[in-house]
Amino acid sequence: MAWLPEQKLIITGDMAFHQRLLPIFDETDTAAWIETWDKFAALGAVHVIPGHGVPTNMEEVTKYTLDYLVYLREKIGEVIDEGGELQEAYDVDQSQFSHLDTFHELSRLNADQVFRAMEFE
């Protein structure tokens, strides 16, 4: 990331998303991503240039990055707590994010990655 405090502008790279569904990979630590968000938000950025998409603001990237990660981990956690299997993780309702580009390509893969990580947390 690059932080320009005088302009209250941050260039986030793939830390923040808003026009496309974020991807979760094998090495992605979603718990740490959530945990570090407060420090990121505390910078007080007014302008956010994400790794993908047009410039935006913190409200937008929080909604489609942090809120998505929290929601997905919460729902996958419920599946795990109820003794569910990976198949039930695929069925977690992510439709509130379906308008984002790459949703159809990534939503099931993201559920898969989060389930596999959380079952051993």
Nearest to 64 by CA among 111, 120, 113, 14: 14
Buried (b) or exposed (e) across 4-31, using 16+ Cβ within 10 A?
A: eeeeeebbbeebbbbbbbbebeeebebe
- Determine the pLDDT at residue 110: 98
- Determine the pLDDT at residue 69: 98
- Determine the pLDDT at residue 118: 97
Residues in the chain, pLDDT under 70: none
Residue with tokens 């990655």: 113
- Determine the pLDDT at residue 113: 98
- Determine the pLDDT at residue 83: 97
CA atoms within 13 Å, Cβ hemisphere of 103: 13
- Determine the pLDDT at residue 18: 97
* CATH code of the domain made up of 2-118: 3.60.15.10
- Determine the pLDDT at residue 104: 97
